[in-house]
Amino acid sequence: MKLSGLEGKRVLITGASSGIGAGMAKVLAEAGCRLVLHFNRNASGIEETLNTVQEMGAEAEVLQCDFAQLETVRSFFDEAWQTFEGLDALVNNAGIVTKSLALKDPEGVQFNETLAVNLQAPYLLSTAFAQCCIEAKQGGAIVNNSSIHAQATCEWFSAYAASKAGMDAMTKAQAVEWGPYGIRVNVLAPGVVPVERTQAILSQPAMEKKWTQNMPMGRYGTPEEMGYATAYLLSDEAAWMTGSVLTLDGGLIARGNYPRRD
């Protein structure tokens, strides 16, 4: 079944230069969306994403912004909103994966930097989107790309896990606040999805076995699969879905850290 309501939908995707964001862009382009593609530093990556979606026939534009500079986020959003004379959807995908032991960051420098990019910037973007939708008297949909680290985490991830847990909670609160205006807010929570910066190490046989033996599905996810899930969350088929967390992790979280029973 082809998802409905996506043809011509104007969508801002942050962090679209590579990885999951690029996968989202390809799937939404195939569905007929008009795309505003955000990037920060990866100019060659965003050019590749842009060329790919345009070859698929999608109308797309590129905008740059460093979300660590929070004072620039609103002007960036306003430009994105004006690109196609409005937006129908926002995908908060951009983020940084911080690996730091709390005791190695006692002043919270990395912690604060992580929250700025992963939580505060999406808050500002989502709020700006909601304000503009309400003013335009239209509905809208937001997908926040979180992580399974919001649900269960491990060493080195206190900052990252906190930012994603905060995103999950923020999503639920915003869904409640903005539901009466026809604005839906949901979370996509990916598990282990190899992307450009992790492909080499995750594809090593020993590393792949370490991860996939704990996944009931027995394999990693793909950026395109995250794109399909995003398309569903933005589609008319998900019209009654808001404040939810959609976990795609091959069953990793469901299995838990139990001894294997072979």
Q: Confirm whether 232 is a catalytic residue.
A: no
Four-residue CA torsion sign, 52, 121, 237, 220: positive
> Closest Cα partner for 13 from 27, 24, 5, 1?
24
Phi/psi at 43 (nearest 5 deg)? -65, -40
- The token pair that represents 228 in the structure block: 């399909």
Number of H helices, E strands in the chain: 10, 7
Using alpha carbons only, give the angle 165, 166, 171 rounded to the nearest 5 degrees.
100
- Of 123, 160, 228, 232, catalytic: 160
CA 51 to chain CA centroid, Å, is 21
Q: List the end-to-end C-alpha distance of the chain, in Å, as a whole number.
A: 38
Torsion of CA 241, 244, 249, 251, to 10 degrees: -90
CA atoms within 13 A on the CB side of 231: 27
> Closest Cα partner for 36 from 58, 62, 17, 54?
62
Active site residues: 160
